[in-house]
Amino acid sequence: MALHRTNGELFIERRSIIDSVFNSFGKNDHASRVLRRGRRFSRITKHKLSRWIFILTALLSILLTFYGLKMFFQAKMESKFSTVPIHMQERNLQDNVMRSNDGNISKENIVVSDVGNIPKQKRRKHYPCEVGFLDSVDGFIEPKDFMNFVQFSLDYVDHEERTSKNDLFEHRFGGHQTWEERENSFYAKNQTLHCGFVKGPVGHPSIGFDVNEKDKTYMHRCKVVVSSCIFGSSDFLRRPTSRLISQYSKDNICFVMFLDDQTLSKLTSEGNNPDEKGNIGLWKIVVVKNLPYKDMRRTGKVPKFLSHRLFPNSRYSIWLDSKTRLNSDPMLIIEYFLWRRKAEYAISNHYDRHNVLEEVLQNKRLNKYNHTAIDEQFNFYLSDGLPKVDPLMPNDPLPSYVPEGSFIIRAHTPMSNLFSCLWFNEVDRFTSRDQLSFAYTYLKLRRMNPERPFHLYMFKDCERRALVKLFQHRTLSAPPNIA
């Protein structure tokens, strides 16, 4: 077989292979023509393929160049018109609260501009951390001096009459609290205050949040309560992890899930049928009729804040948002966060945000509520003593002015009940975003009662994550109209 040299390398000459093909065809003219056409077709195909590869490579290079230039100019524009850093926003906003010569805050309105919204950042991962629970609940005894907190008597406004014959009386579940009544309600003293469940005049329709007498009797017997709610079919039913809860807690704690008819129907269609005792797993199902608010989020604040009113004989309560599942024994939780800390109220700090301005901006960025209503609420809180925020200094007296809020542990003491009523009244009067009103309510209560301490313990968010498992909501309600 003949060889020839090409570019210094030796290759087997293809012509010798072709000759063998000729021999197989008998070296006729037809075979020769077919072979020549094949060679020309091969050369043409290779040429076209090379040209297409070149064209595609050029197009790809142009696209990459265009995209790179676009990103460059976009970065330049963002650097030119970038939003003010969060700590500068806080400082500028606080500086806009002008004080007169006598030290009083002026009535100048402050609007948190949408332009100053917090830029969207990459989500950080958050992890649970160890909680030093006792090994078991065996031999649990409430400390003798635990309930030795500030003592006073609270009564609640039960009904309201029309203010005048000509008034068009509009019934409200939270009542019609005047500004003077609101101010006086912050004093830790014997008093009667608004705290939901306010009836209208005789003959007026029900106040709302109605439960049947059988369920009401059951709730009045509860001494320790774990409660949650689902309204508007917004979540799946999350059952507490039974194997992690002691038999003592199962026998002595009321696990109550509040539902409306719509949610119960949805859960039943999914196979979650209450048994003959009205239970689904550990949850005792209590169906609520005549919901007091059109806003399901606001309706959910009733069992969240007013457990001392729904369970008037209970000593302790634990609240779980419906998006969470309890993975710990409730009695161990009460021992660790209340008895051991000598606290009457425990709630976790937020995992990312620690001052109210950050929460305001986040709520507006995500369109959680009407922007004008959020601005009015925040502006009022600033004018009424919500302190300035220095991002370089820790919050005092709390580690965070923004709670996570989905997990609350309470002893039903007078101060704890008063704080819960005050916080609920802020949600009823302003927006349903309770994280906006937490710090203001707590700080004002402390400020107006310097000699009557409220023992609130704010624990780490990682501890909350060790006790409950967080899920996503089933569906997200349509955001409210934005002004």
- Determine the pLDDT at residue 93: 45
Does position 440 have pLDDT exceeding 90, yes or no? yes
Q: Report the mean per-residue pLDDT for the chain.
A: 82
Instruction: Give per-residue burial for 287-296: e unless 16+ CB within 10 Å, then b.
Output: bbeebbbebb
Of 264, 209, 277, the C-alpha closest to 237 is 264
End-to-end CA separation in angstroms for the chain: 89
* Residue 116, domain member (yes or no): no
Does position 374 have pLDDT exceeding 90, yes or no? yes
How many residues does the structure list for the chain?
483
> Among 127-131, 239-243, 419-423, which stretch is predicted with the lowest mean pLDDT?
127-131
The pair of three-digit structure tokens given for residue 6, joined into one six-digit string: 């090409």
The model's pTM: 0.75
* Residue 45, domain member (yes or no): yes
Examine the domain organization and report whether 76 and 212 are in the same domain: no
* Residue 267, domain member (yes or no): yes
Q: Is 215 exposed, middle or buried (0-12, 13-18, 19+ CB in 10 A)?
A: middle
The pair of three-digit structure tokens given for residue 423, joined into one six-digit string: 């916080």
- State what percent of residues in the chain have pLDDT above 70: 73
Examine the domain organization and report whether 32 and 134 are in the same domain: no
Pairing of strands 345-349, 403-411: antiparallel
> What does the alpha-carbon distance between residue 153 and residue 286 come to, in Å, rounded to a whole number?
29
Does position 160 have pLDDT exceeding 70, yes or no? yes
Last residue of a domain, one of 80, 98, 115: 80
User: Residue 326 in 3-state DSSP?
Assistant: strand
Contact criterion met (CB below 8 Å) for 187 and 422: no
Examine the domain organization and report whether 210 and 66 are in the same domain: no
Split at pLDDT 50, 70, 90, the class of 376 is very high
- Determine the pLDDT at residue 90: 43
Examine the domain organization and report whether 47 and 195 are in the same domain: no
Mean pLDDT, residues 331-352 taken together? 96
Phi first, then psi: give them for residue 407, nearest 5 degrees.
-145, 110
Examine the domain organization and report whether 127 and 48 are in the same domain: no
Split at pLDDT 50, 70, 90, the class of 113 is very low
Split at pLDDT 50, 70, 90, the class of 474 is confident
Does position 419 have pLDDT exceeding 80, yes or no? yes
Examine the domain organization and report whether 179 and 326 are in the same domain: yes
Query: What is the Cα 366 distance to its own chain's centre?
Result: 12
More confident residue, 305 or 66: 305
Examine the domain organization and report whether 266 and 372 are in the same domain: yes
Interacting residues of 445 by C-beta distance below 8 A, sequence separation 6+: 186, 188, 418, 419, 422, 454
* Residue 216, H or E segment: helix 213-221
Query: What is the Cα 263 distance to its own chain's centre?
Result: 20
Q: What is the pLDDT of residues 44-85, one digit of tens each?
A: 566 677 777 888 888 887 877 766 655 554 444 333 333 334
Contact criterion met (CB below 8 Å) for 194 and 285: no
Last residue of a domain, one of 46, 62, 80: 80
- Determine the pLDDT at residue 106: 40
Phi first, then psi: give them for residue 238, nearest 5 degrees.
-105, 110
Contact criterion met (CB below 8 Å) for 411 and 315: yes
Last residue of a domain, one of 64, 80, 96: 80
> What does the alpha-carbon distance between residue 177 and residue 160 come to, in Å, rounded to a whole number?
10
* Residue 380, domain member (yes or no): yes
- Determine the pLDDT at residue 15: 47
Domain tally for the chain? 2
* Residue 5, domain member (yes or no): no
Examine the domain organization and report whether 246 and 170 are in the same domain: yes
- Determine the pLDDT at residue 21: 43
Examine the domain organization and report whether 442 and 375 are in the same domain: yes
The pair of three-digit structure tokens given for residue 104, joined into one six-digit string: 């009083």
* Residue 104, domain member (yes or no): no
Examine the domain organization and report whether 72 and 136 are in the same domain: no
> What does the alpha-carbon distance between residue 430 and residue 477 come to, in Å, rounded to a whole number?
20
* Residue 108, domain member (yes or no): no
Examine the domain organization and report whether 68 and 178 are in the same domain: no
Q: What is the pLDDT of residues 381-408, one digit of tens each?
A: 999 999 876 666 666 788 899 999 999 9
The pair of three-digit structure tokens given for residue 317, joined into one six-digit string: 């309560």
User: Half-sphere exposure of 358 toward its Cβ, with a 13 Å CA cutoff?
Assistant: 18
Examine the domain organization and report whether 71 and 128 are in the same domain: no
* Residue 114, domain member (yes or no): no
Of 402, 421, 400, 399, the C-alpha closest to 410 is 421
Contact criterion met (CB below 8 Å) for 200 and 159: yes
The pair of three-digit structure tokens given for residue 16, joined into one six-digit string: 């010798």
Mean pLDDT, residues 82-111 taken together? 41
Interacting residues of 84 by C-beta distance below 8 A, sequence separation 6+: 92, 116
User: Residue 131 in 3-state DSSP?
Assistant: coil
> What does the alpha-carbon distance between residue 178 and residue 192 come to, in Å, rounded to a whole number?
13
Domain that includes residue 43, residue range: 17-80
Does position 240 have pLDDT exceeding 50, yes or no? yes
> Among 10-24, 135-149, 169-183, which stretch is predicted with the lowest mean pLDDT?
10-24
